[in-house]
Amino acid sequence: MEKVHIERNSVQETLVIPLYARKLCTEQYPRLFQDKQVAELMERMDYDFSGHAQKGKGIVYRFGALETAMRQYDMAWEVRDYLKTHPRAAVVNLGCGLDLTGENCDNGQCKIYNLDLPQVIALREQLLPGTERVRNLAVDLNNTSWFDEIDHGSGAVFFAAGVFYYFQTEQVKALLSRMAAGFPGGRLVFDAAGKTAVKLMIQTWVKSLGITDVGAWFYVDNPDRDLQPWLPKAKVSARGYMRGYNDLRDPAVSGFFRFLSRAADGMMKMRIIRIDF
């Protein structure tokens, strides 16, 4: 089988980082996270992963992999929970990259939609082409004409992993308000962090783009105060990003990583936000 070439310093290359993290998660935390297709995906790519393999020996990279594992664990938990009462719902991955959370939650009845920018979807179609119940859609999430593509007659559960940090606050507010109106009875799940954590996450972007107003970028210090007023008819709830769905007492997780996880959920205010429209 011909391999798919991944250009260096391209948008497509940015998808390799979470892909390798998922491989590392599967190897290091098999009780917490399993992505059986990730190794196959990597084999089909014309790309040198040796740099990531070297970085994967470091503490920072390995803790980042644990964060990836827990985020996908949390998202999958919420999707499966919704499907218990809405088995034929639309499962919508916002900013999907090469993620397979929707497919891994497939109950054989739901409809799966993977949404991302055109260049990302072009790569996904090469590696993970759509099927009868799985559609890959090239969209701009802020242009909500994509709502018309989602068959939500039997419910809809949306999730966005690592996406909204790089939106401006007003963009997130507008998108959530429109989703609340367009998908009553649906659910949206996404990860968020406090202002301090987001500032650390995007400081490289801020320097490169010349942006000085970090407050313009999306963060959540207090879900009730920051989000609930936007959505008066919805129910907003939150859990810790790292320990809200699993206590991390797995023997593969070191005591030091459990300490960092408590700091992430506490001081950094990293959370999984759930909105029931």
| Tokens 């803790």, located at residue | 63
Pick the closest to residue 115 from 105, 101, 225, 104 (CA basis): 101
- What confidence score (pLDDT) does residue 204 get? 52
Query: How many other CB atoms sit within 10 Å of the CB of residue 185?
Result: 12
pLDDT of residue 241: 96
Whether 20 contacts 61, CB under 8 Å: no
- What does the alpha-carbon distance between residue 169 and residue 219 come to, in Å, rounded to a whole number? 8
Q: What is the DSSP string of 54-104?
A: HHTTSHHHHHHHHHHHHHHHHHHHHHHHHHHH-TT-EEEEET-TT--HHHH
Nearest Cα to Cα of residue 47 among 22, 69, 25, 14: 14
Looking at residue 214, what is its pLDDT?
A: 46
Model pLDDT, residue 272: 98
User: What per-residue confidence (pLDDT) applies to 258?
Assistant: 97
Q: Give the pLDDT confidence score for residue 12 in this predicted structure.
A: 82
Domains for the chain: give ranges and CATH numbers. 4-276 (3.40.50.150)
Distances (CA, A) of 262 to 9, 198, 202: 34, 17, 22
Q: Which DSSP string do the residues of the chain spell out, in sequence order?
A: -PPEE--TTSHHHHTHHHHHHHHHHHHH-TTT---TTHHHHHHTEE---HHHHHHTTSHHHHHHHHHHHHHHHHHHHHHHHHHHH-TT-EEEEET-TT--HHHHT--SSSEEEEEE-HHHHHHHHHHS---SSEEEEE--TTSGGGGGG---TT-EEEEESS-GGGSBHHHHHHHHHHHHHHSTT-EEEEEE--HHHHHHHHHHHHHHHT---GGGB---S-HHHHTGGG-TTSEEEEEETTTSS-----TTS-HHHHHHHHHHHTTT--EEEEEE-
Q: 81: closest CA among 211, 214, 245, 256?
A: 245
Measured CA angle at 19 (ends 197, 4), to 5 deg: 140
Local confidence pLDDT in tens for the 277 residues of the chain: 689 999 887 778 888 888 898 999 899 998 888 888 898 999 999 999 998 889 888 998 899 889 988 999 999 999 999 999 999 999 999 999 999 999 999 999 999 999 999 999 999 999 999 999 999 999 999 999 999 999 999 999 999 999 998 899 999 999 999 999 999 999 999 999 999 888 776 665 444 444 455 445 799 999 999 999 999 999 999 999 999 999 999 999 999 999 999 999 999 999 999 999 9
